[in-house]
Amino acid sequence: MIELTAAQVAAATGGRLSADPEVRVGGPVVVDSRRVAPGSLFVALPGEHVDGHDFAAGAVAAGATLVLAARELDVPCVVVDDVQTALGELARHVLATLRERGDLRVVAVTGSVGKTTTKDLLGQLLRPEGETVVPRGSFNNEIGLPLTVLEADESTRFLVLEMGASGVGHLTYLTRIAPPDVSVVLVVGSAHLGEFGGIEAVARAKSELVTGLAPGGVAVLNADDLRVAAMADVAPGEVVTFGTIPAADVRAEDLGIDRTGRASFTLRVRPGASDDATRGDGTSARVTLGLVGEHHVTNAMAAATAALRLGVALPDVAARLSDARALSPHRMQVTERPDGITVIDDSYNANPDSMRAALKALAVMAGRDRRSVAVLGEMLELGEDSRVAHDDIGRLVVRLNVKLLVVVGEGAGGIHDGATQEGSWGDETRFVPDVEAASALLRDELREGDVVLVKASNGSGLWRLGDELAAAGADAPGGDRA
Ligand X SMILES: Nc1ncnc2c1ncn2[C@@H]1O[C@H](COP(=O)(O)OP(=O)(O)OP(=O)(O)O)[C@@H](O)[C@H]1O
Footprint of Mg ion on this chain (CB under 5 A)? 115-116, 138
> Contact 108/135 with Cβ under 8 angstroms?
no
Of the candidate spans 69-77, 278-286, 291-299, 460-468, the one that interacts with ligand X by CB under 6 A turns out to be 291-299
User: 348 contacts which partner out of ligand X, Mg ion, none, CB within 5 to 8 A by kind?
Assistant: ligand X
> Contact 83/137 with Cβ under 8 angstroms?
no
**Long-range contacts, 238-245 (Cβ 8 Å, 24+):** 240/273, 240/305, 240/309, 241/305, 242/301, 242/302, 242/304, 242/305, 243/298, 243/301, 244/297
Smallest distance, ligand X to C-beta of residue 233, A: 23
298 lies in the site for ligand X, by CB under 6 A: yes
| Spatial separation of the C-alpha atoms in residues 290 and 275, rounded to whole Å | 26
User: 372 contacts which partner out of Mg ion, ligand X, none, CB within 5 to 8 A by kind?
Assistant: none
Smallest distance, ligand X to C-beta of residue 331, A: 5
User: 411 contacts which partner out of Mg ion, ligand X, none, CB within 5 to 8 A by kind?
Assistant: none
| Neighbouring residues of 134: CB distance < 8 A, sequence distance ≥ 6 | 119, 120, 122, 123, 148, 160
164 lies in the site for ligand X, by CB under 6 A: yes
| Neighbouring residues of 447: CB distance < 8 A, sequence distance ≥ 6 | 341, 371
Query: Which of 112, 170, 120, 108 lies closest to 142, judged by CA?
Result: 170
Q: Of 93, 105, 227, 295, which one interacts with ligand X (CB under 6 A)?
A: 295
Smallest distance, Mg ion to C-beta of residue 159, A: 17
Smallest distance, ligand X to C-beta of residue 19, A: 36
Torsion of CA 296, 394, 436, 334, to 10 degrees: -20
Query: How many residues bind to ligand X according to rule CB under 6 A?
Result: 23
Of the candidate spans 107-115, 279-287, 311-319, 428-436, the one that interacts with ligand X by CB under 6 A turns out to be 107-115
362 lies in the site for ligand X, by CB under 6 A: no
Smallest distance, Mg ion to C-beta of residue 301, A: 18
Name the residue nearer to ligand X (CB basis): 91 or 297: 297
Q: Print the binding letters for residues 325-354 with ligand X: x by CB under 6 A, - otherwise.
A: ------xx-------------x-xx---xx
381 lies in the site for ligand X, by CB under 6 A: no
Backbone angles phi, psi at 199, to 5 degrees: -70, -30
Name the residue nearer to ligand X (CB basis): 6 or 263: 263
Query: Which of 143, 47, 12, 195 lies closest to 162, judged by CA?
Result: 143
Subset of residues 393 to 452 that bind ligand X, contact rule: CB under 6 A? none
User: 349 contacts which partner out of Mg ion, ligand X, none, CB within 5 to 8 A by kind?
Assistant: ligand X
- A 10 A CB-CB count for 430 gives 17
15 lies in the site for ligand X, by CB under 6 A: no
115 lies in the site for ligand X, by CB under 6 A: yes
Query: Which of 421, 443, 419, 438 lies closest to 429, judged by CA?
Result: 419
Subset of residues 124 to 153 that bind ligand X, contact rule: CB under 6 A? 138, 140
Name the residue nearer to Mg ion (CB basis): 8 or 118: 118
User: 8 contacts which partner out of ligand X, Mg ion, none, CB within 5 to 8 A by kind?
Assistant: none
Work out whether strand 250-257 and strand 239-243 pair parallel, antiparallel, or are unpaired: parallel
Name the residue nearer to Mg ion (CB basis): 172 or 458: 458
Q: Of 8, 33, 299, 420, which one interacts with ligand X (CB under 6 A)?
A: 299
206 lies in the site for ligand X, by CB under 6 A: no
Greatest C-alpha distance within the chain: 74
Name the residue nearer to ligand X (CB basis): 140 or 183: 140
Smallest distance, ligand X to C-beta of residue 13, A: 27
Bridge partners, 185 (sequence order) = 110, 221
Tell me, rounded to whole angstroms, the distance of Cα 31 from its chain centroid.
21
Collapsed DSSP state (helix, strand, coil) of residue 40: coil
Collapsed DSSP state (helix, strand, coil) of residue 391: helix
Q: For binding to ligand X (CB under 6 A), which residues are involved?
A: 111, 113-117, 138, 140, 164, 187, 293, 295, 298-299, 331-332, 346, 348-349, 353-354, 357-358
